[in-house]
């Protein structure tokens, strides 16, 4: 009975669905995290009687036919790029992006990675870096005698140093945009990599057309909604239980068949 394999595919699909939801819930407090959603597709169909074929010598046509589905499969796990809320921290190196774009991070192997998590700091050399010490492009260095740091909406970094009357312009942070940001490859540590699906990175300055602005002293929170995720979890659990019930019922039917004399 094909119902066994059909229901089994349903259980596997809902298991993956729960894994995606659990990852969303686990990252509720992850800075700049974008929630994901599992998308499913039906599998191939068995044509018992094909629609549109002739059903008699009088040239009558079968209007609907008989198709039996064979289950479900995962089509994709889609990343939802909706912006999270803005949370004030008071840390001058915490940056939130208001609008589209990603901060550019230089990885140790020379590649560029991209992130919405703006919880930056400075290393021992005065460079603005991520939590893991990766340089934030274009590699701005803060002077040792800096008294205060200012980052405006366009990403321009200015430092007020001891003995100086006017702030010193240190450079401007670079941003990147993508045609399909959902196609970026997540590698962990709040970092994403460019792929063929995402398209090439388009670099620009904050505040330019199509690019968001930067807000100093704030962070973008995760866009995970606890109520939505719990509701989705309940729905997935019930679907899993129903598929399990189909397997149990099919087993009972096979047992009845086996007991026929």
Q: At what angle do helices 3-26 and 226-258 cross, to 10 degrees?
A: 160
Query: Which pLDDT belongs to residue 69?
Result: 84
Residue 96 sits in the same domain as residue 199: yes
Looking at the fold, whether 254 and 178 belong to one and the same domain comes out as: no
DSSP-derived letter for residue 119 is B
Residues 43 and 60 in one domain: yes
Cα–Cα dist 87/98, whole Å: 12
What are the pLDDT tens digits along the chain (261 aa)? 788 899 999 999 999 999 999 999 999 999 999 999 999 999 888 888 777 788 777 778 878 778 788 899 999 999 999 999 999 998 999 999 999 999 999 999 999 999 999 999 999 999 999 999 999 999 999 999 889 999 999 999 999 988 887 899 999 999 999 999 999 999 999 999 999 999 999 999 999 999 999 999 999 999 999 999 999 999 999 999 999 999 999 888 888 888 887
Q: How far apart are CA 115 and CA 105, in angstroms?
A: 7
Q: Quick one: 237 and 166 in the same domain?
A: no
Could you tell me which residues come within 8 angstroms of residue 135 by beta carbon, excluding any fewer than 6 positions away?
105, 106, 127, 128, 129
| Whole-number pLDDT of residue 151 | 94
- The pLDDT, as a whole number, for residue 95 is 96
For residues 99 and 9, membership in a common domain is answered with no
Beta bridge partners, 214, equal 97
Pair (100, 215) in one structural domain: yes
Q: Please tell me whether residues 71 and 187 are part of one structural domain.
A: no
Cβ-contact 37, 78 below 8 angstroms = yes
Find out whether 158 and 218 touch, Cβ atoms under 8 Å. no
Question: How far from 117 is each of 30, 135, 158, 190, CA to CA, in Å?
Answer: 9, 14, 21, 6
Number of domains comprising the chain: 2
User: Could you tell me if 133 and 185 lie in one domain?
Assistant: yes
Same domain, 107 and 213: yes
Same domain, 134 and 207: yes
Which structural domain, as residue segments, surrounds residue 18? 3-81+224-258
* Whether residues 171 and 104 fall in one domain: yes
* Dihedral angle computed from the Cα positions of residues 239, 245, 250 and 251, in that order, rounded to the nearest 10 degrees: 130
Report the chain's terminal Cα–Cα distance, integer Å: 20
Question: What is the pTM for the complete model shown?
Answer: 0.85
Tell me, rounded to whole angstroms, the distance of Cα 183 from its chain centroid. 9
Residue 97 carries which DSSP code? E
Q: Are residues 242 and 132 in the same domain?
A: no
């Amino acid at each position: 009975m094909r119902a066994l394999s059909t229901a089994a595919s349903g259980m596997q699909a809902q298991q993956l669905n729960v894994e995606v939801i659990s990852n969303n819930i686990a990252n509720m407090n992850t800075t700049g995290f974008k929630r994901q959603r599992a998308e499913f597709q039906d599998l191939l169909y068995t044509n018992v009687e094909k629609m549109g074929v002739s059903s008699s010598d009088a040239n009558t046509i079968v209007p609907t036919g008989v198709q039996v589905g064979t289950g479900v499969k995962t089509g994709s796990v889609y990343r939802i790029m909706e912006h999270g809320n803005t949370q004030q921290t008071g840390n001058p190196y915490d940056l939130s992006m208001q609008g589209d774009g990603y901060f550019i991070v230089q990885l140790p192997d020379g590649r560029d990675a991209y992130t919405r998590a703006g919880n930056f700091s400075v290393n021992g050399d005065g460079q603005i870096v991520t939590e893991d010490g990766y340089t934030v492009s274009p590699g701005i260095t803060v002077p040792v005698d800096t008294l205060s740091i200012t980052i405006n909406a366009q990403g321009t970094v200015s430092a007020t140093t001891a003995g100086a009357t006017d702030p010193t312009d240190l450079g401007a942070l670079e941003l990147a945009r993508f045609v399909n940001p959902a196609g970026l490859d997540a590698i962990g540590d709040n970092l994403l990599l460019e792929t063929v699906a995402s398209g090439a990175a388009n670099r620009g300055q904050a505040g330019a057309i199509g690019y968001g602005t930067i807000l100093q002293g704030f962070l973008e929170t995760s866009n995970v909604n606890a109520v939505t995720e719990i509701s989705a979890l309940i729905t997935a659990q019930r679907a899993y239980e129903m598929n399990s019930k189909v397997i149990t019922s099919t087993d009972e039917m096979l047992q009845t068949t086996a007991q026929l004399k």
